[in-house]
A and B are shown apart, each in its own frame.
Chain A
Amino acid sequence: MVDNLLEIRDLAVEFGTDIGTTYALREVSFDVPRGKVTAIVGESGSGKSVTANCIMRLIQSPGRITGGQIHFSPNDVTAYDIAALPDKDPRLLDLRGGSVSMVFQEPMTALSPVYTVGNQVAEAILCHRKVSKEEALEEAADMLRLVGIDDVGRRIHQYPFEFSGGMRQRVVIAMALVCHPQLLICDEPTTALDVTIQAEILTLIRDLQKDLNNSVLFITHDLGVVAQMADQVVVMYQGRVLEVGSVRQVLKTPVHPYTRGLLAAIPGLATKGERLATIASVVGDADLITPHPLVTLADGRQVSLPSDQLAALELANG
């Protein structure tokens, strides 16, 4: 079996708007290994959500995938390019919620207000397997118990507005995991929650990942969360990947000036009295605008840099 569940190569996405074309993704390439947590970090608008939506083919007009591949190998025998599937391909419906599922940023609005929680979680099962409604509800109840919801027998018949934000996010996580997907995408799952609940949800996602041994693609702009959650990090900026490496490599010894800038801008890491760095002050603007191909370094990490800086790096590393 291929080591990587997902191999994204040169993915490009454009949004055609009235005022011109936005190139949301340009030559995005990275791998999502099996059974590991991969984090995507980057500032707002860097293309994190668009990347995630591409994997589930949720990009809708005026956006479209204009190039690249998303190789998906759910098991030994099947492998296909998600980016190349026609819109009506039945594999897309299998994929969505079946082998890949997603937890969104806004738990308050991610569930329909007019159906019970049980109905909505069970529906995920009914979409993918031929089981009776009762069986689906029972499995939904088990999953809700697993994500830490008490009194499930009663709760399952309640509506989303009867749940708190943190509880709703647990329901959304249960809904995403109920079909045992190989890849769980979490798009800033805790941004809308308050701090104490954030920590609980993060722990829950991490624990469930260890138990179920699935892959997780975790999107955030919080490097502190990356350190806590991820095995591997992808740094994005303006629709490009600037650096890919293990958490240790990227957070301890960042190579790309932009990554260093991100780290320097974290309040906790800056030494007392030192002014917080803005990213532009660390990185020359020109460096960020001119694209460079991703190059794999000797230690296995990948980085996008101008050739002179690369040469200097190679020298330094020997």
Chain B
Amino acid sequence: MRAYVIKRVFGMIPTLILISGLIFIVIQLPPGDIVTSTLDRMQSQGLEVSAEAVANLRAQYNLDQPLLIQYVRWIGGFLIGDMGYSYLFTRPVSELVWERLGYTLMITVSSLIFTWAIAIPAGIYSAVRQYSFVDYLITTIMLVGLATPSFLLALMAMYAGYELFGISIGGLFSPEYRDAPWSFAKLMDFLSHLWIPMVVLGLGGTASTMRILRANLLDELSKPYVVTARAKGVKPLKLLFKYPLRIAINPFISTIGLLMPALISGEAIVSIVLGLPTIGPALIQALIAQDMYLAGSFLMLLAVLTVLGMLLSDLLLAWADPRIRYE
């Protein structure tokens, strides 16, 4: 097991180097850079910019240096936590990233808990009582859920919130708390706003999670080892949890690592609709404005989180399934 952990941890390093190079190249690909897009904007406002100012700006962003140097500076800064300056938000990228990442993680984790809290019991019930009325009911509801885009759900939630409760539910904070320092009252305000994105984003995954669990569990339920355990006299509930369910949930462990990128790309539209201060909308803005430091840092952080997530799933899976541990 220890050898496996070490192997996996060191295996991450080349992957990350490769990804960072790719991200850097992709960000450089579109014609122009932050300076040209700034110039365009200034000129369209009728402002004159001297050639000297342009050169200064280029030097400030290291854009006058060869690409390799630019890459090394960028990734080197990234490693020590200096992610450069966001022209778009006129703040250091690191500040922006940690704040947005914090909110994104909170929303991701809470919506994941929401998803599992609904999908796992529903999936178990549906599988154990296959073809019962409740099974048909659950699978039908889930099918509708699967076909409903989450931005539509977000719009519906906003409409319902406005019509029924007369509250505007955009954002993560009420206006009076948005810029206030953290306090108990602000925390409560945050929690009262958190549940909408949690439900909207969580419901999207619920349908697929439930259907996968139902299918996995049905598969396992018909395996001979379940009959053997039943013939041994194991009590029904213990039997269900210890034998088929224990194996049916393994595939979910391996998806934990993929949750971050999936949620962030899925989250972007919902976040724009709900006005959430998360990574998705900021990433889109940064890419449009060619705010290279910001976009690069977001992408790089996502890559790191994804690779760490995969490591976590692999280790959990190895811990949960001896067949992998003893490969």
Decide if B22 is an interface residue (CB 8 Å cutoff).
no
Interface contact A96-B233, CB-CB below 8 Å: yes
Within the complex, the shortest CB–CB distance from B298 to chain A, in Å, comes to 39
Q: What residues on B are CB-neighbors of A97 within 8 Å?
A: 231-234
Residues 115-139 of A, flagged 1 when their CB comes within 8 A of B and 0 if not, give 1000010011001100000000000
Decide if A104 is an interface residue (CB 8 Å cutoff).
yes
- In Å, the complex CA distance between A127 and B234 comes to 6
Q: How large is the interface on B (under 10, 10 to 19, 20 to 34, 35 or more residues)?
A: 20 to 34
Q: For B243, give the chain A residue with the smallest CB separation.
A: A112
Q: Could you tell me which B residues sit within 8 Å of A by CB distance?
A: 223-225, 227-235, 242-243, 246-247, 320-323, 326
Q: What residues on A are CB-neighbors of B322 within 8 Å?
A: 113-114, 159, 161
> Within residues 13 to 62 of chain A, which ones have a CB less than 8 A from any CB in chain B?
56, 58
> Within residues 79 to 135 of chain A, which ones have a CB less than 8 A from any CB in chain B?
93-98, 101-102, 104, 106, 109-115, 120, 123-124, 127-128
Contact flag A114-B232 (CB < 8 Å), given A104-B224, A104-B227, A109-B224 = no
Choice from A106, A109, A162, A175 contacting B232 with Cβ under 8 Å: A175
Interface contact A93-B233, CB-CB below 8 Å: yes
Within the complex, the shortest CB–CB distance from A17 to chain B, in Å, comes to 12
- In Å, the complex CA distance between A124 and B243 comes to 14
Q: What residues on A are CB-neighbors of B228 within 8 Å?
A: 102, 104, 110-111, 172, 175
Choice from B225, B235, B242 contacting A93 with Cβ under 8 Å: B235
Most chain A CB within 10 A, of B227, B229, B233, B323, is at B233
- In Å, the complex CA distance between A114 and B319 comes to 10
Q: For A93, give the chain B residue with the smallest CB separation.
A: B233
Choice from A101, A109, A115 contacting B231 with Cβ under 8 Å: A101
Interface contact B247-A56, CB-CB below 8 Å: no
Q: For B325, give the chain A residue with the smallest CB separation.
A: A159
- In Å, the complex CA distance between A104 and B224 comes to 8
- In Å, the complex CA distance between A123 and B235 comes to 11
Contact flag A161-B224 (CB < 8 Å), given A94-B233, A96-B231, A127-B232 = no
- In Å, the complex CA distance between A95 and B102 comes to 56
Our count of residue pairs bridging A and B at CB distance below 8 angstroms stands at 73
Q: For A111, give the chain B residue with the smallest CB separation.
A: B225
Within the complex, the shortest CB–CB distance from B249 to chain A, in Å, comes to 11
Q: For A95, give the chain B residue with the smallest CB separation.
A: B233
Q: For B321, give the chain A residue with the smallest CB separation.
A: A114
Interface contact B227-A58, CB-CB below 8 Å: yes
Contact flag A113-B323 (CB < 8 Å), given A104-B224, A172-B228 = yes
Q: 11 other contacts beyond A93-B235, A114-B246, A161-B322, with CB at 8 A cut-off?
A: A58-B227, A109-B225, A110-B227, A111-B225, A113-B323, A114-B322, A123-B232, A127-B232, A159-B326, A161-B323, A162-B326
- In Å, the complex CA distance between A101 and B223 comes to 18
Interface contact A112-B233, CB-CB below 8 Å: no
Q: What residues on A are CB-neighbors of B230 within 8 Å?
A: 58, 96
Q: Offer 20 A-B interface pairs, CB within 8 angstroms, sorted by A.
A: A58-B230, A96-B230, A96-B233, A97-B232, A101-B231, A101-B232, A104-B231, A110-B225, A110-B228, A112-B246, A112-B247, A113-B247, A113-B322, A114-B246, A115-B242, A127-B235, A128-B233, A159-B322, A162-B326, A175-B228
Q: What residues on A are CB-neighbors of B246 within 8 Å?
A: 112, 114
Contact flag A114-B247 (CB < 8 Å), given A104-B228, A109-B223 = yes
Choice from B229, B231, B235, B326 contacting A112 with Cβ under 8 Å: B229
Most chain A CB within 10 A, of B224, B228, B242, B322, is at B228
- In Å, the complex CA distance between A172 and B228 comes to 9
Interface contact B233-A124, CB-CB below 8 Å: yes
